[in-house]
Structure 1
Amino acid sequence: MLLLLLLLVAALVAAGVIALYVAYPHRGEEMPVAPRVGTAMKQAADAIPVLEDDEVQAARRS
């Protein structure tokens, strides 16, 4: 039961972080209460590799 509760809390925390990212840094705005957290989120999102359109098309063909 404790494991289930911990998993639910972890899911809620993850959902909250995603909601905060979509609400502020993704739109280019600073978070009003904790701007450092928004900056860290933006840096983490920029560090993730992204497929370009031509790479997506090449992956679909193969």
Structure 2
Amino acid sequence: MNPSLNREGSTGIFPFRIWIIEAWENAARSLWVDWVANTVGPSLSCERSRIANRSR
């Protein structure tokens, strides 16, 4: 969290909204990373092994 953001709106719902947005972005990012690792990762490793086999 940026301390400047906390200083700007230390009262009210503003920091709470920032916290929700940050938590949502972190969750979305981790979900995206998991999805990429599960879908793109295996196909990438298959491609890599296929290219390595072809070059051998």
* TM superposition score normalised by structure 1: 0.44
By relative contact order (CA 8 Å, sep 6+), the higher-ranking structure is: 1
Q: Which has the larger Rg?
A: 2
* TM superposition score normalised by structure 2: 0.49
